[in-house]
Structure 1
C-alpha cells in the first residue's frame, strides 16, 4: 500500500469519527523525524521534502512513475503448489491472500512500456505479494520479457524489490536464478541492454542472480540491498560489520553498483541510458529521418 492509498483508506467514513479515530494528514519521516503534510510527500513521488528520504511505493506507483504507456502481458500466469507445501499456513492460502491484497496472481508485473517515447520491456516486482518472492511464475515472466526484448530489439528493465527465492517452491524457485541468468546471457549475445533498478529492499536469490547482472545497475537512495540479513552474516563470519554496509550508497562507494539515482530523476536517466546503450537506436533514428 502506497502513501496515497493509505490516506484514501483513512479518509473513508471519517465524517463521524471520534477525535482519536480522526485521520492524520501528516507524515513523520523515519529518517529526519520531520512532520510533513502528506500532499507534499505525494507531490515529490513519495520522497521527504526535508531530507529526501525515499518512502516505499507500490508496484503500480512505480509503473506510473517510469512509464508514458504500459501494457501488462502474461497476466494469466499463476503459481501452483507443486510440493503441496504446508507450514503454519498452506501455500495455496498464501497465494490467495496475495491475490486478494494486490489483485494480481504473482509478485511480478511484466509488459511493454514506453519511457520518454522509448519502447522497452519492463518487469516490476510487487513486494506486497508474498514479499516480492521469486517463484517459478516470476521466473517465467522474466524469461518471456527477455524473449520479447530480443524479438523486438528493445532494452530490458527490471525493477527489483524482493525478499528472495520463494521457499514454498524449494528447488523450483532456486532454479529460476539459473534460468533468468542464462536468458540474460542470450540477451547480452544480441547486444541488447539490461538495466537493473534496485529498490528497497532487494535481497536473497534475486540479488544473487539477475539483479546484479545488469549492464547498468542503479539503485534508489537509501535502498537496502544484500543477500542475507546482517545478523546472519555476522554469525557466519564472526566479525563486526561496517555501518550501513547494505545501503545503496555503501555499495556505490565500493563499486558494486553503478549509480544511485533519486526517484525524480529515474525516468529521464533510464530513457537517456536506453538511447546510449541500445545499438538499434541510432539505426531507428536514421530510418525515421
Structure 2
C-alpha cells in the first residue's frame, strides 16, 4: 500500500499516473519513462546533467535579497526557501564546460519563490551576461519562473530592462545567447531575457506566456486553443526554434557551440 511507503521513495506522474521509484526517475533526468512527461528539474541537478564534471565555477552564490519595500513576511519566506532548497536565491549562475565547450550558464529554480524575479535574480543574471562578454564565451540561460516578484514591486519590474540591456550589449559585441525555456516560464521573465536568445529552445510541454489563460480569455471574450501557451503551440507559430527532449538537450547545446566554434583547448 502507498501509505506504507516512506515519503519521497515513490513519485507519481501527473500526466499518465504511473508510480515509479524516485531514484529511477532521477536517473532518467526527471522524465517519465512511460509518457515522457518532463518533471521540473532543480538547478543543481540541471547543472550536473549538462556541465562536464569538475568544471563548474559558481558566481555570486552569497548574494541574498533584502526587503526594500518592507513587505510583511517577505524575509521570513525567503529564509524558509533557503532552508528548503539550499539556495540563496532563485537562480544559480557560473561558468563551466559542455563537452569541452566553455560557456557561462544561468539556471533558474522554481523551487525558490516559484523562480520569481527580484532584484538579486536580475543582478545575478546581468553579472553573468557581463562575465560572458568579458571572457568572450557564450551565455546559456534556463528559465523557470512565475514572473516578477511582487514583494519588490517596481524594483522587480526594472530587472526586465536591466537584463535585456545587458543582453543587447552582449549581442552587439558578437556574443552567442542560447535560451532554454522550461516549465513554467511566465510573466516578466517570458517578456524579457527568456525570449531574447539567438536560439530560443524549450522543453516539451513547458508553459510559456505572459498573462494567464483565464485573464486572456476574459479580456478577448474568446476560448483559447487547448494547447495555448505550450512550447509546442509556440513552435508552430514561429516563436521558438526547437522543442528539445531533455535526453537530447546536451547534445543539441554541444552542436550549437561547435557550430559557433567556442572550443576551449
Provide TM-score, normalisation by structure 1.
0.86
Q: 1:136 to 1:50 in 2, by over 3 A?
A: same
Corresponding residue SS for 1:78: coil
* 1:199 and 2:182 correspond: yes
1:72 to 44, 58, 61: 58
Residue deviations 1:89-143 (CA, integer Å, cap 9, x gap): x211111112111222211110111111111000001111111010111111111
Separation of aligned partners in 2, 1:95 and 1:22: 31
Deviation of residue 23 (structure 1)? 2.9
Residue 48 (structure 1) aligns with: 32
Separation of aligned partners in 2, 1:42 and 1:225: 24
Separation of aligned partners in 1, 2:61 and 2:25: 31
In 2, are the aligned partners of 1:40 and 1:49 still within 8 Å (CA)? no
Which structure 2 residues correspond to residues 99-118 of structure 1 after superposition, within 5 A? 99-118=82-101
1:60 to 36, 44, 50: 44
Deviation of residue 39 (structure 1)? 4.3
Separation of aligned partners in 2, 1:155 and 1:254: 27
Q: How many residues align?
A: 262
Deviation of residue 167 (structure 1)? 0.6
Q: 1:211 to 1:20 in 2, by over 3 A?
A: closer
Separation of aligned partners in 2, 1:168 and 1:32: 36
Q: 1:96 to 1:240 in 2, by over 3 A?
A: same
Separation of aligned partners in 2, 1:249 and 1:230: 16
Corresponding residue SS for 1:82: coil
Residue 82 (structure 1) aligns with: 68
Residue 153 (structure 1) aligns with: 136
Residue 10 (structure 1) aligns with: none
Separation of aligned partners in 2, 1:217 and 1:202: 12
Corresponding residue SS for 1:202: strand
Q: 1:20 to 1:29 in 2, by over 3 A?
A: closer
Please report the RMSD computed on the Cα atoms of aligned residues, expressed in angstroms: 1.8
Q: 1:99 to 1:112 in 2, by over 3 A?
A: same
Q: 1:254 to 1:267 in 2, by over 3 A?
A: same
Deviation of residue 274 (structure 1)? 1.6
2:121 to 123, 135, 138: 138
Gaps of 5+ in 1: 1-17
Separation of aligned partners in 2, 1:99 and 1:19: 30
Separation of aligned partners in 1, 2:252 and 2:182: 15
Deviation of residue 34 (structure 1)? 3.1
Separation of aligned partners in 2, 1:230 and 1:108: 26
Provide TM-score, normalisation by structure 2.
0.93
* 1:247 and 2:233 correspond: no
In 2, are the aligned partners of 1:29 and 1:35 still within 8 Å (CA)? yes
Residue 265 (structure 1) aligns with: 248
Corresponding residue SS for 1:170: helix
